[in-house]
Structure 1
Amino acid sequence: MRLSHLPALALAAVLAACGSAGQPTKLWEATGFAQPETVLPDLDAGVLYVSNVAGGPGDKDGNGFISKLTLDGKVTNLKWVTGLDAPKGLALNGGKLYVADLDQLVEIDVASGAIATRHQAPGAKILNDIAIDGEGRVYVTDWPGNAIWRLVDDTFEKWVEGDVLKAPNGLLVEGDSLVVAAWGTGMKPDFSTETAGNLLTVGLEDKAVANLGSGAPVGHLDGLEPFDADSYLVTDWVGGKVFQISRTGEAKELLKVSQGTANLAFIASTRTAIIPLMVDGKVVAYQF
């Protein structure tokens, strides 16, 4: 080995450790879903939960369901929980699986798979993603409703609203803020927009909404997960893309799959992204 190669090799190792080098490798693909929207891992149980819209994104039809998979993509129970309308975002806390289902936040008892509680959200249009803070407060985006709802104890009510939220979709609690993946402004009946979305922040205490970075449009953003110390992994549903977006707002395309890249999971220990493809009815896993 020539000593002159050492700096370049060291740099490559640093870039790889930061998740910025190399093309992601496809690990597996699972099929047979009905518009899968969100993947949520439970690493302790070795389970992936997948929400299936099974109809129009706003249809109150009772066809929606939740699937269970192993961490390597084997379906163990396609219709583990049924009787939902158009389930999307998922979150786990205290033995309960929370599900965003149109105008309800549904609690499922994980041990039994039974629906325990339905929290009504009167006037909500399409509840989408869920995040839970350190105090156990549950936040839920209303995507076309330009609002974020919050569950505290048994009270579920609108917490923040306004066009400044830019059709909030993906949601993440980070420190004293929510990070929001916005779909875009000027949403039309076909869900297209006048301007594509970007990442936002919302203060948990003061509810102040701000652009993360310059606010330059990135895409019709959906899923949002921490990627490394300096960035997030974010999907663009319409573009079928996966972006790495820095904490100062700069976006870099890492992967293009197909239209319908929805609310992904990211397992940091193996650097594996698990992406639901709504249009294709698939769930795919890539390692970065």
Structure 2
Amino acid sequence: MKAFLKIIVLSMLIFACKSEKKDAEKVPKEEQKAIVLKSKLLHEVNGLTHCESIVYDENKNILYASLIGNREAGDGSVATVSLEGKVIDTMFVKGLNDPKGIAITDDKLYVSDVTELVEADINTGEIIKKHTLEGIKFLNDVAIAHDGTVYVSDTFNSSIYALKTDGTFSEWLNSEALEHPNGLLKVENNMYVSAWGNMVGPDGKKKQSGNFLKVNMETKEITKVSKDTLGNLDGVQIYDKDNFIISSWRTGKIMKINNNGAVEDVLTVGISVGDILYIPEKKLLALPMNRQNQLLIYKLQESEK
């Protein structure tokens, strides 16, 4: 008899669980709890002249920031900044013109400088070599692949150049489908691109904003991740395995976008937000503000909508 009662109770529990699951499935998506990103400003770093790009050195636990300067020859630099927002050295790499994107390895720092890809010693800041080619117009962001190849976008030429480990520097891809690439991010067999957009629209005058793109590294096939243009895009960073964080220079928006092109606005900080940085393990978002001569450091936190 006891065994029979146990079977009845067990059957009732299973039925109740199935009913709860069906009831949950009936709840409209708009009524289900959604997770959104909230931001909290931690540090506002001033005095960084036309700050453009940020990269994190986990070995030294510091940030490198490219400073365009006042657009005089040689007044650009790469600065070092602590995670607590303290400026350490504004002239760690000096003598640059208008530096923009930065990428690092264990022993080298690479920064784009108008028509040159500058290679510097990451321990001393001394410039080792400069790489350039005839026809380069406006080098922008820098990304490094696992094999050591350094990629740099040329926004004006709608190109991406590659510096191989043997020192060979050449154009890797040129296409209007790149929509004048700005930000670059190498992830496995793909290069993700934050596109500035077409310099001249179909009417010969109107400027068109850019898409978030994906380039297959083997086939060089270019596909759109975003469903619509999102603005004059600049930086791109990994948020998690399914999402990226991107910035729009002109609108000042920071957005989260997933692999299917769904976009969520995170925050808006103002025009001229540049090549951003996100450190997932610390949940820190660093935003270089070009016209404001600032670096803003935020903490991101997920919460229910």
Query: Aligned pair count?
Result: 265
2:274 partner SS: coil
Could you tell me which residue of structure 2 aligns to residue 173 of structure 1? 186
- The C-alpha deviation readout for 1:79-131, integer Å capped at 9, x for no partner, is 11111111001011140000111111111101121001111132111101111
CA distance in 1: counterparts of 2:206 and 2:276, whole angstroms: 22
Letter aligned with residue 59 of structure 2: D
Give ranges in structure 1 of 5+ residues lacking alignment.
1-6, 8-13
153, 158, 171: which one aligns with 1:158: 171
153, 162, 180: which one aligns with 1:141: 153
Q: C-alpha root-mean-square deviation of aligned residues, in Å?
A: 1.8
CA distance in 2: counterparts of 1:22 and 1:170, whole angstroms: 22
Residue 239 (1) aligns with residue 225 (2): no
- Equivalent residues in 2 for 1:184-203 (5 A)? 184-187=197-200, 194-203=207-216
CA distance in 1: counterparts of 2:137 and 2:42, whole angstroms: 36
CA distance in 2: counterparts of 1:180 and 1:34, whole angstroms: 26
Could you tell me which residue of structure 2 aligns to residue 68 of structure 1? 80
Residue 27 (1) aligns with residue 27 (2): no
User: With structure 1 as the length reference, what TM-score do the two structures score?
Assistant: 0.88
Letter aligned with residue 243 of structure 1: M
Give ranges in structure 2 of 5+ residues lacking alignment.
1-23, 25-32, 301-305
CA shift, 1:23, in A, is: 2.4
Choose 1 or 2 for highest CA Rg: 2
Alpha-carbon spacing, 1:22–1:166, altered in 2? closer, same or farther (3 Å): closer
1:184 partner SS: coil
Alpha-carbon spacing, 1:34–1:213, altered in 2? closer, same or farther (3 Å): closer
Residue 274 (1) aligns with residue 286 (2): yes
- The C-alpha deviation readout for 1:237-271, integer Å capped at 9, x for no partner, is 00011011111112221100011110011111121
Q: Where has structure 1 moved over 3 Å in runs of 4 or more?
A: none
CA shift, 1:41, in A, is: 0.7
User: With structure 2 as the length reference, what TM-score do the two structures score?
Assistant: 0.83
Residue 38 (1) aligns with residue 47 (2): no
CA shift, 1:183, in A, is: 0.8
Could you tell me which residue of structure 2 aligns to residue 222 of structure 1? 234
2:38 partner SS: coil
CA distance in 2: counterparts of 1:186 and 1:42, whole angstroms: 34
Letter aligned with residue 202 of structure 1: V
Identity %: 31
Could you tell me which residue of structure 2 aligns to residue 10 of structure 1? none
2:129 partner SS: strand
- Equivalent residues in 2 for 1:198-217 (5 A)? 198-214=211-227, 216-217=228-229
